[in-house]
Chains A and B, each alone.
Chain A
Amino acid sequence: MSFLNTDYAKCLAASERVSWSLTTVVPADAQLDFSRPFMPEPMFLSNRLEDLTANEKLKLNQIFGRAYGYLFYFVEAYIVSATMEHARAELYGDEIALRALLRFTEEEVKHQQLFLRFGEIFDRDFGTECGLTDSPQAVASYILSKSPMAVLLVTLHLEIITQAHYVDAMKDNGEVEPLFASLFKHHWLEEAQHAKLDVLELEKLRESATPGQRALAVQEYIEILQAFAGLLGRQAALDVESLERASGRTFDPTLRSQIQHSQTRSYYRAFLWYGLTNSLFLEYLADRFPSLLAQTSSLASQFGEGGL
């Protein structure tokens, strides 16, 4: 499969075929099973911490799951704004492209509502409060201050990781909490089209861009990833506090540091490393942004397991 063999009509048809409603995926009486982990084992690196009990690891896994869903809500705030602009640019133009982009936007708003509902159910039944990074608007403003090509590269990166996480770690995983897995299955079904639309929009911008504008997009993509890493590190620190509240235990500074470190690694791996090592993303960069491809290996090392 290549992202380069697609068009707006195919994306639109696929979007209509896989479409789902919020109330079907998260019914009003939906409940989460807190006896199960939320995050799949390969994505939850804190499972290796020897000084946490099995119950504390389960709680931390669920806290990670809560933040994981929230972070997608968080980033979709800027994606909605960006895709609205791309749709608006097609007004009176290609109607198939306009429909595909409007569906893209509508689906992203639906995903935001999906993750908000998940958060409400989680917060209702988990028992203690989970700390979450604030100011999605400020993050959206930062990202949208960058060039549209850089924004699209980051969006493509994020759409790809949602697919990679589901296909590599959640699909057919009998361990993971079923409603949580279902949310991400439905998320993945629509994100598959979004990644292709990102590529189609990138192609439009790339065509008329100067070499300097392409170089700027690459530089700004990396800047956004670095800023995102800072946000993920702050979320990891909040997870430690959330675990203390959930377990009723105050950790000594050494263990606090270990938990924060392993949570930071888990977030980096999930949100940054997964994209920077994804074969479809690398294939696309090789074709269209070779100067970025040349930097993905060192960035992946920075954000991979051994990178902290």
Chain B
Amino acid sequence: MAAHALAQQPSPVANLNSLTETTLTRLKRALGPQKGEAMAALIFSKMGLNQISSPQDLCDFANHLIQHGGVAEAVGRSLKVMALLRSAIDRPVPVR
């Protein structure tokens, strides 16, 4: 379902910016290609976005990931530090 949701949105893979590419690469590396992509699709769907355009998007994406626990949480915490180093503001996961 998550991958299906991603397919219905403009594809983030079509024209990846560097933050999106970094995020997808790390998720695939940590969770495996299919689970990584599905997790990204699920979170993009929750956020109503199809790519990560700013450090703030990255921070919000990371906070969603952290809620999943396990390895996804570990990736999320790393991405969150990356976002905060780029002056993002930590804020509760926005619900759309």
Contacts and interface: CB of A to CB of B under 8 A. Distances in A.
B53 to A, nearest CB: 10
A92 B55 contact: no
B86 A209 contact: yes
Nearest to B75: A92
B87 A85 contact: no
Contact of B87 (A88, A93, A148, A204): A148
Contact of A93 (B22, B84, B86): B22
Given A85-B81, A208-B55, A91 B87 contact: no
A90 B78 CA distance: 7
Interface in A96-116: none
B87 A209 contact: yes
Interface string B62-91: 000000000000110111011011110000
B35 interface: no
A292 B27 CA distance: 38
Contact of A208 (B25, B75, B86): B86
A86 interface: yes
Interface in B17-33: 19, 22, 25-26, 29-30
Contact of A91 (B25, B74, B85): B74
Nearest to B78: A91
Nearest to A88: B81
Contact of B26 (A85, A88, A93, A147): A93
Contacts of A205: 85-86
A92 B82 CA distance: 12
B29 A92 contact: yes
A148 B55 CA distance: 13
A86 B85 contact: yes
Size bracket, chain B contacts: 10 to 19
A31 interface: no
Interface in A47-95: 85-86, 88-93
A213 interface: yes
User: Which among A90, A93, A204, A209 has the highest number of chain B CB atoms within 10 Å?
Assistant: A93
Contacts of B85: 85-86, 89, 148, 204-205
Contacts of B84: 85, 148
A208 B22 CA distance: 13
B30 A92 contact: yes
A90 B86 CA distance: 13
B86 A91 contact: no
A268 B55 CA distance: 37
Given A205-B85, A205-B86, A88 B55 contact: no
A277 B95 CA distance: 51
Interface string A173-205: 000000000000000000000000000000011
Contacts of A85: 81, 84-85
Contacts of B79: 89
Interface in A192-232: 204-205, 208-209, 213
Contacts of A91: 26, 74-75, 77-78
Interface of A: 85-86, 88-93, 147-148, 204-205, 208-209, 213
Interface of B: 19, 22, 25-26, 29-30, 54-55, 74-75, 77-79, 81-82, 84-87
Q: Which 4 A-B residue pairings sit nearest by Cβ, starting from the closest?
A: A91-B78, A89-B82, A92-B26, A89-B81
Given A85-B85, A92-B74, 16 more contacts: A85-B81, A88-B77, A88-B78, A88-B81, A89-B81, A91-B26, A91-B77, A92-B26, A92-B30, A93-B22, A93-B78, A148-B86, A148-B87, A204-B85, A205-B86, A208-B54
5 contacts: A89-B78, A93-B25, A93-B78, A148-B87, A205-B86
